[in-house]
Amino acid sequence: MTPRWLKPEFRKQGAAALLSSAPLTSTAEDAPVTPPSGYWWWGGRGASVLIEQRAVWVNLGLLLALVLASIAYLCLGSLALDPREVIGALAGQGSMMTTFMVQELRLPRLVAACLTGGAFALAGILMQTLARNRLATPGIIGIDNGATAFAVASVVGLSVSLAPSAMALTGAVTAAVLTFGLAAGSGTQGYRFIVAGIGVGAVFGAITQLLLARVAIDTANAAYPWTVGSLNARAGGSVQLLAVGLALGLIAALALARSLTILRFSEATANGLGVNAKARRMQILLLSVVLTALAVAVAGPVGMVGLIGPEIARALSTPRHVPVVAATLSGALVMVLADLAGRTLLAPIELPVGIVTAIIGGPWLLWILMRPQRSHA
C-alpha cells in the first residue's frame, strides 16, 4: 500500500501537515473565489451559482431582437403605422382605428406567433438532445403530423367534441409512441430512427387527407390552415393554454438543464454522474411532445421552426450547455419574422407561415444533410 504522504494530493502540504493533528480538509473558506474565465460567480457560503457571461449576452441580444421584430410586426401590414402610433395604441391612447388594429388584430397574432415559435423551438431542442441527433425534431419524426391529424379530426367533427388542444395532445402522444416504439430496434441514434419517423408522419398525413376528403368542402376549407400551418385560424382557448404550457415547460426545461447537458454523453456517463438517464429521458420526451401538441393546436404543423430555432441558439452559444432559453427566444424570433414576411412580402396575398418556414427550412435541412458529417448535436 502506498504510504499516505506519497499520494499526490497530500504531497504539496508536506510533512508538517502530516505530522500535525489538524484534519486535512480543503480550505475553501479562506481562499478567495476566482470563477473560471467567462463566468460570473455569485453567491454566499451556503449556495452559489456560476453564470456564463456569454449566455447572458446572447439571451439579452435575442430578447432585444425579438422586441424590435415585434415592433416591426405591429407597425407593418396592410396599413403601415408609425412606431409612435403603435406605442400610443398599446397604451390605449390613439385613434379608434389604430387602437383596434393594434390591440385586436395584430397584438393577439403577435402573441400567438411568439408562443408557438418558442414552443416549437423548445420542443425541438429537447427532442434533439434526447435523441442526440440534430435532425430529430418533432416536425421531422412525425409528431406534428400526428397532432395535426387529430386536430383536424376535431375540426371536421367526427362526432367527438373535444377541443383541438386535447385532440392534438392525443395525436402527438400517439405519434410519439409509434415512432419510438417502431424505431426501438434501431436505437434513437442515426438516421434509421428519423426515417421511421418520416414513415409515421406519412401515415398521419394520409389520415389528415382522408378526414378532409370525407367532409363537405366548407368544413374542409375551415380545416385547411391546419394542414399547412398558419396563424390565421387560432382556435379560442388554445392560445391561453399554450401560454400556460410554455411557461411551465420553460421552467421544467430549466430544471432539467443540468440533466440535459449530461445526457448528451452516453447513458453510462450520465448514470455515473448521478443522472437517472431513463427517468429523465421520459420526462424530456413528455415535455417535448406536450409542447408540440399545444403549439400545433394553435398554428398547425410549423415544424421547421423546431429545427431552425435550436440551430441558431447553438450557433450563438458555447457548447458547454444546452441553450434552452436561447432556443426558445430564437424560435419566437423566427416565427415572428416568418409571419411578418408572409403577411407583407406578397401583399395582398397572405402566405401561411408554414409555407414561409418550409421555404427557409428546406434548404437548411438539405445543407445539414449534405455537409460532411462531423458531430451530432
Count of C-beta atoms within a 10 Å radius of residue 346? 10
Residue 167 or 358 with smaller CB distance to another protein: 358
Cα–Cα distance measured from residue 375 to residue 377, given in angstroms and rounded to the nearest whole number: 7
Alpha helix locations (H) across 32-137?
A: 53-75, 83-90, 96-99, 107-131
Q: In whole angstroms, how close is the CB of 36 to another protein at the nearest point? A: 37
- CB 355 → another protein: shortest distance, Å? 5
Between residues 316 and 358, which has the closer beta carbon with respect to another protein? 358
In the complex, least distance from residue 228 CB atom to another protein, rounded to whole angstroms? 6
Torsion sign, CA atoms 296, 227, 154, 235: positive
Plot region of 244 (φ>0 → left; ψ -120 to 50 → alpha; else → beta): alpha
Strand boundaries in the chain, DSSP class E: 39-43, 48-52
**Min CB(220)–another protein separation in Å:** 10
* Residue with smaller CB distance to another protein, 137 or 261: 137
Nearer residue to another protein within complex by CB, 115 or 200: 200
Least distance in Å: CB of 293 to another protein?
Answer: 21
Q: How far is the CB of 212 from another protein (least distance, A)?
A: 9
Q: How many CB atoms lie within 10 A of CB 4?
A: 10
Name the residue among 138, 164, 126, 174 with its Cα closest to residue 280: 126
Nearest residue (CB) to another protein, 73 versus 204: 204
Task: Kindly list the residues in this chain that would bind another protein in the complex (CB under 8 A).
Answer: 135, 182-183, 185-186, 190-192, 194-196, 198-200, 202-203, 205-207, 209-210, 213-214, 228, 346, 349, 351, 354-355, 358-359, 362-363, 365-366, 369-370, 372-373
Nearer Cβ to another protein (192/278): 192
CB 253 within 8 A of CB 323: no
Residue 29, exposed/middle/buried by CB under 10 A (0-12, 13-18, 19+)? exposed
